[in-house]
Amino acid sequence: MIYLDHNATTRPAPDVVAAMRRALEEWWPNPSSIHRPGQTARQQIDLARKHLAELIGTRPRFLTFTGSGTESLDLAIRGHLLARGLIGAANANTHGGPPTIITTPIEHIGVRELARALEREEGVHVLMADLDEQGVVQATSVERLLNEHPQTALVSVQWANNETGAIQPVEIIGKICRERNVTFHCDATQWVGKMPVNVEGVVEMAEGDQAGRHQSIEAVRGNLACDLLTFSPHKFHGPKGVGVLYARAGVRTAPLIHGEQELGRRGGTENVPGIIGAGVAAQLALQWLRDEENPRRVGVLRDRFERAVLEAVPEARVNSAIGPRLYNTSSIGFPKLEAEALLMLLSERGVCCSAGAACSSGSLEASAVIQAMKIAPDYAHGTLRFSLSRETTVTEVDEGARIVAECVARLRRSWTGA
């Protein structure tokens, strides 16, 4: 199997699996129990929280564990609006009109659909920031919307796009929000564990950065002035079933699941093995990131893969190829092909990737991200996402590119009869 779908999930590292197995065998008591075995399990959770806090440059008490990255998104956005009394039946029509949030059309579905639900169910006013042709959010658009809607309650922008890898100018947007005392939430699911993060760092904007672009990926140091940040350890070789929410000191979120756990911020008995595994994954990621050559090495492999595919299929096109892009992600459009058919053919040949399009109501519809980027339909419907990890090898990249080219050629022959 050639696995090139690491933005979907990553293989749990062997040390993670070993730690989780030990947790199941030794630290299985309920961590809320006051007896010694329960408190031993609690100590292991606290240790994992410490390691995850170190990964993003904060203190353990600012982290809340949830059941997934998607739940963390909901707790960050809905929970924050609830905590401020801006939504909920008890607070209807008491704040001079519905609250406003600003987000983008390329967010993860957990943010996009949540925004629609809040608009539909709570009357929240949702505004979308502008994108450029590479799918990069324009910081100047966010600033304009904030100037036009000074009572905005929250801005939510992802750090790196899950489909194209386009890096968003979150450092600049965070500073703009901080200057206006507007809560800024960042979905860092595709960033944490892959690039350095310092959520409590001070961001200085250089002259000329106002357009919302970084000059290079080397310029991105991971400093981010944000109030809320969400991530998921299964994206960096940790387990599924664990999400993490960072909330800056003084930034409140109301629980969506009530209970005494997580200081009352999220109820339910903790997933002890998953949390312990997440802590180990954080340690491994931080160690890997200390060598700046590691991300560059994966970037070289990604570029090698793209070159090989484009040489074999010259009519193909890389989406978001210009501008800052996460080093492991490649979104390639193959014109006049259906992504789902190509995806299945690749799967039969042992190559795992994702389609940039999904079947909907019996017809092929380009993903919301690809549509928002206004990519030509011929390319949009034939877009696939390939994503690497720190485990990806040269052999996998070379063999994967060769198989992609062969499958494209085979699919075209089957449709044209040539």
Tokens 């030990």 label which residue? 22
Strands (E), 56-99: 63-66
Structure tokens given for 182: 């507007």
| Contact criterion met (CB below 8 Å) for 192 and 33 | no
Chain centre distance of CA 59: 21
403 Cβ contact partners less than 8 Å away, ≥ 6 residues apart? 2, 346, 349, 350, 351
Structure tokens given for 312: 């074999």
Number of continuous H segments (helices) and E segments (strands) in the chain? 12, 15
φ, ψ of residue 261 to 5 degrees: the values are -70, 160
Tell me the sheet residues that pair with 184. 155
387 Cβ contact partners less than 8 Å away, ≥ 6 residues apart? 4, 5, 6, 7, 8, 165, 328, 329, 330, 353, 354
71, 90, 104, 63 alpha-carbon torsion, rounded to 10°: -40
Helix (H, G, I), strand (E, B) or coil at 247: strand
CA distance 45 to 198: 22
Tokens 């904007």 label which residue? 205
CA distance 316 to 329: 16
Structure tokens given for 117: 């639900």
Is 359 in the active site? yes
CA distance 299 to 104: 26
Of 177, 352, 359, 407, which one is the catalytic site residue? 359
CA distance 24 to 15: 14
Helix (H, G, I), strand (E, B) or coil at 166: strand
CA distance 391 to 14: 12
User: Which residues are part of the catalytic machinery?
Assistant: 359
